């Protein structure tokens, strides 16, 4: 590890790029991919950073995201303990979510180089932390034989599924009444809608022991007001949905619980997506992890990712891979163990060689 070049990772993390402000990071990564020998590197019509290695007719698309949540963390490289041996820790926004995985894709593909008959396409997508505009743009442009999505799940694990999501806004209105009248206020009505939704989810989940199979609800916002004659209360409910419950299944259920309240879908609804386990792609990664001394395992995540957007369109073997502890996503302590990053690059390079060799 002492001789490993971490320039891609450190350089990319140094480019602060919250959603909507990715241009500088995209330009930096395009230049870096050119320097590493990619056949082509450019910013596409959505502003994504794209690098192409090789010119064969068969594609492997490695889709990461270059945007981060807001909140700049000073780039710091410090000595620290590592389960992989004494190493260094890189602090910085995006070091985990998800510039670490994206940089891993760039370095891994550069290590493998061009392979006859194949084309590796690395995409650093914009806007993943908002509405996945970058992934939505590339989904119809490529038809890969294999897809690898970049998110942090540790170097020795692969993720095979992400839950769906659906957001709704519910507004309850009531004629204003004296607090001693006993009439239900708008605030009480909104709380009752939330309680009914929670009770439904608890009943649904009671027979489903795995979190990936459950409906997970969150109360994301609440506000209220009055104009002297009428009261109103508004809540936003977010739902993390399993494969068995699509957004189109969920919205009528929630709307029925809202009763006469105003009901509005907000944002993009995304169905859950689960990858096939017995594929050449999965086997290549399991082999790559073992070759680096790891004991591979699988994980199914409760969040959503660009996998949910491109998976149903590309309909090819896919998985999610990347170094880093996802518990650090979006936190002020976001950091990545450089020893883990080096392992992940080795895993990816080995997996790609096994896949297309």
Q: Which residues are catalytic?
A: 67, 128
d(CA 169, CA 183): 23
Whether the bond between 98 and the residue before it is cis, its omega within 30 degrees of 0, is: yes
Task: For the sheet with 262-270, list strands across it.
Answer: 216-226, 230-241, 164-175, 262-270
What 3-state DSSP class applies to 94? coil
Rounding to the nearest 10 degrees, give the CA dihedral for residues 155, 88, 304, 129. -150
- Selection from 324, 287, 321, 352 nearest residue 111 by Cα: 352
d(CA 207, CA 238): 22
Strand partners, 263: 170
| Helical spans, DSSP H, in 161-279 | 186-205, 247-258
DSSP string, 194-219: HHHHHHHHHHHHTT--SGGGS-EEEE
What 3-state DSSP class applies to 163? coil
* Pairing of β 230-241 and β 164-175: antiparallel
């Amino acid at each position: 590890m002492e001789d490993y070049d971490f320039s891609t990772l450190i350089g990319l993390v140094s480019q602060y790029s919250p959603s909507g402000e990715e241009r500088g990071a995209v330009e930096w990564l395009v230049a870096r991919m050119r320097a590493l020998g990619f056949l082509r590197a450019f910013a596409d019509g959505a502003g994504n950073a794209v690098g192409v290695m090789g010119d064969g007719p068969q594609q492997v698309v490695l889709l990461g995201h270059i945007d981060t949540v807001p909140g700049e963390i000073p780039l710091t490289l410090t000595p620290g303990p590592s389960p992989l041996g004494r190493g260094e820790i890189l602090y910085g926004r995006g070091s985990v979510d998800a510039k670490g995985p994206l940089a891993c894709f760039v370095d891994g593909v550069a290590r493998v180089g061009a392979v006859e008959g194949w084309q590796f396409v690395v995409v650093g997508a914009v806007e993943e932390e908002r509405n996945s505009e970058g992934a939505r743009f590339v989904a119809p442009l490529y038809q890969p034989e294999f897809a690898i999505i970049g998110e942090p799940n540790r170097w020795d694990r692969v993720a095979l599924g992400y839950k769906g999501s659906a957001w709704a806004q519910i507004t309850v209105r009531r004629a204003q009444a004296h607090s001693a009248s006993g009439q239900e206020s708008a605030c009480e009505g909104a709380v009752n809608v939330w309680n009914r939704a929670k009770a439904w989810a608890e009943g649904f989940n009671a027979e489903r022991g795995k979190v990936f199979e459950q409906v997970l609800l969150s109360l994301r916002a609440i506000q209220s007001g009055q104009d002297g004659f009428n009261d109103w209360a508004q809540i936003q409910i977010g739902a993390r949905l399993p494969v068995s419950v699509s957004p189109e299944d969920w919205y009528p259920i929630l709307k029925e619980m809202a009763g006469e309240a105003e009901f509005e879908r907000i944002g993009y609804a995304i169905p859950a997506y689960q990858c096939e386990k017995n594929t050449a792609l999965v086997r290549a990664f399991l082999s790559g992890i073992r070759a680096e001394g790891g004991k591979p395992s699988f994980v199914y995540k409760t969040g959503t990712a660009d996998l949910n957007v491109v998976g149903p369109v590309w309909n090819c073997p896919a998985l999610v891979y990347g170094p880093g502890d996802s518990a650090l996503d979006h936190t002020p302590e976001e950091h990545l163990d450089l020893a883990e990053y080096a392992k992940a690059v080795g895993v990816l390079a080995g997996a790609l060689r096994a896949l297309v060799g």
